[in-house]
């Protein structure tokens, strides 16, 4: 695995890569009907991701489609810190969505929206495959997971990057346009692990380590293929 030590040896472009990483995370999981799917994807690709990245403090956004998982689509946004989600600008955007946004958001099926901070991170960049893991941790287990992720998870082959998400339950939850989810998948207090790979082959074997130590209660929620990503610097 190429890790953070390598970035220190290539400061010119390494610092650029690190600048795209944030300490605040918003992720959204949802299904969508086949009738709405094309417009749903057009909305994300044409309007929504760019619109969000124009908000002060947003650093990157990326989208994934499920290979197997609890929801078909996943979107991940990184911000400077979780305070961005309490900013006047972000709150105004939520309160005054575009007409297209209101139309699409009402068509989300069983959406899940969660905000948190990055408790530990290793590697850099966006992999072609994302594995999302739910971690219902007790307080005594959190530091152990931070240490394990910070050490680089060397047992995982072809791992590009990973981060451990610590929940900000008070900032999570649905936006007003969402219909109520009939199939909840996470508690607002659940932690999560995001693992990005360059190759998703043999993941069932690789992820067997999740049954060890404090990760024994881990639940893999899905394996997702990257559709595209965007950073604020690219706008």
CB 29 within 8 A of CB 68: no
pLDDT of 3 reads 39
Beta strands in 32-94 (DSSP E): 58-69, 73-79
Q: Report the C-alpha gap between 94 and 96 in whole angstroms.
A: 6
- The pLDDT averaged over each successive group of 10 residues in the chain (235 residues) is 38 44 94 98 98 97 93 98 98 97 98 97 91 87 89 86 96 96 92 90 66 69 93 92
Q: Report the C-alpha gap between 166 and 118 in whole angstroms.
A: 6
The CA-based angle 175-179-185, given to 5 degrees, is: 85
Domain 4-234, CATH number (from 1.10.600.10, 3.30.70.100, 1.20.1250.20, 3.40.50.300): 3.30.70.100
pLDDT of 4 reads 38
CB 52 within 8 A of CB 58: yes
Hey, where are the domains in the chain? 4-234
The pTM assigned to this predicted structure is 0.89
């Amino acid at each position: 695995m190429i890790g953070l030590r390598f970035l220190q040896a290539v400061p010119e472009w390494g610092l650029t890569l690190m600048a795209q990483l944030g300490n605040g995370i918003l992720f959204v999981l949802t299904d969508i009907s086949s009738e709405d799917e094309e417009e749903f994807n057009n909305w994300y690709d044409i309007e929504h991701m760019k619109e969000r990245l124009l908000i002060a403090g947003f650093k990157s956004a990326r989208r994934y489609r499920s290979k197997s998982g609890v929801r078909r689509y996943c979107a991940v946004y990184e911000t400077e810190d979780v305070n961005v989600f309490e900013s006047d600008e972000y709150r105004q955007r939520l309160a005054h969505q575009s007409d297209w946004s209101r139309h699409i958001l009402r068509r989300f099926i069983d959406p899940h929206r969660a905000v948190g901070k990055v408790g530990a991170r290793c590697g850099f960049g966006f992999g072609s495959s994302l594995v999302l893991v739910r971690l219902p941790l007790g307080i005594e287990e959190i530091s152990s997971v931070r240490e394990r992720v910070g050490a680089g998870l060397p047992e995982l082959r072809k791992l590009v990057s990973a981060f451990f998400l610590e929940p900000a339950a008070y900032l999570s939850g649905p936006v007003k346009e969402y219909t109520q989810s009939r199939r909840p998948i996470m508690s607002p207090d659940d932690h999560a692990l995001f693992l990005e790979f360059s190759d998703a082959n043999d993941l069932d074997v690789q992820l067997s380590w999740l049954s060890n130590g404090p990760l024994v209660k881990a639940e893999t929620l899905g394996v997702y293929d990257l559709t595209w990503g965007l950073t604020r610097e690219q706008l």
